[in-house]
A = this chain, B = another copy of it.
Amino acid sequence: MTIAPPIFHPGQNDLIAAFNGKEWSQIADHLELVALPLGEVLYEPGISMRYVYFPISAIISLLYVMEDGYSAEIAVVGKEGLLGIPLLLGGESTSSRAVVQSGGYGFRIKTELLKNEFNRCGVIHDVLLRYTQALMTQMTQTAACNRHHSLEQQLCRWLLLSLDRLPTNKLLMTQELIASMLGVRRAGVTEVAGKLQRAGLIKYRRGHIEVTDRNGLEIKVCECYAVVKKEYDRLLPST
């Protein structure tokens, strides 16, 4: 038996919702609903891509993968954003990889079409540039957090950022995956996650995480989370 895909509409992506003008309706027809299954690689470093993605229920992780195989998450993109900013900025490719961190659905559109609208320098242009700045804030904070904060704080930040981009408080995530996103040992994640569980903040079950006390996480997390969230709210108030 096959399960019918859930019914989504483009406006569930916050950026698309913010476009909603005449210029947008011209290309809205070209949006295409796609499944974004866990682990799918959407962009690979140095490769120029044909589509940009507006996630709805999926979360995409921007990772830098080093020569020795170690990786580090730079930012996450969910329904508040767009995957493919470099395509609009004119650079085509990036040095990072985009991987689906939490499976779901999204819309995609041919790069050229969005680029054409972007280059008219109307609402779409302005919204996307503000989003670009929000993304830069996230990168900034990742860099600073990597330097100074403990694994526990970083995990809290990661959980909250993910939660903000999901409809539920449940994540499908193994500790192995989280570790590779954060660029730390799996055993380190186990330790810290156990601590959070004993404190009653989360519940763990083989690849399922449930956040049971969001407030508690917000108390434990470092400032980085709030800085990013505040900046997204400021730059993209519609969301």
Contacts and interface: CB of A to CB of B under 8 A. Distances in A.
A70 interface: yes
A75 B34 CA distance: 36
- 3 closest A-B pairs by CB: A143-B143, A91-B133, A146-B146
5 contacts: A90-B129, A119-B121, A120-B121, A135-B136, A144-B183
Contacts of A142: 143
B223 A141 contact: no
A139 B141 contact: no
Contact of A66 (B120, B135, B144, B146): B144
A239 interface: no
A74 interface: yes
B89 A130 contact: yes
Contacts of A197: none
B147 A89 contact: no
A231 interface: yes
A96 interface: yes
Contact of A89 (B94, B132, B141): B132
Which of A119, A134, A139, A227 has the most chain B CB atoms inside 10 A of its CB? A139
Given A64-B141, A89-B129, A121-B121, 10 more contacts: A72-B148, A74-B139, A86-B133, A90-B126, A90-B129, A91-B134, A91-B234, A91-B235, A94-B133, A95-B140
B144 A72 contact: yes
B129 A139 contact: no
Q: Is the interface of A mostly helix, strand, loop or mixed?
A: helix
Contacts of A146: 143, 146-147
A140 B64 contact: yes
A94 B130 contact: no
Interface string A210-227: 000000000000010001
B144 A64 contact: yes
A67 interface: yes
Contact of A140 (B88, B129, B139, B147): B139
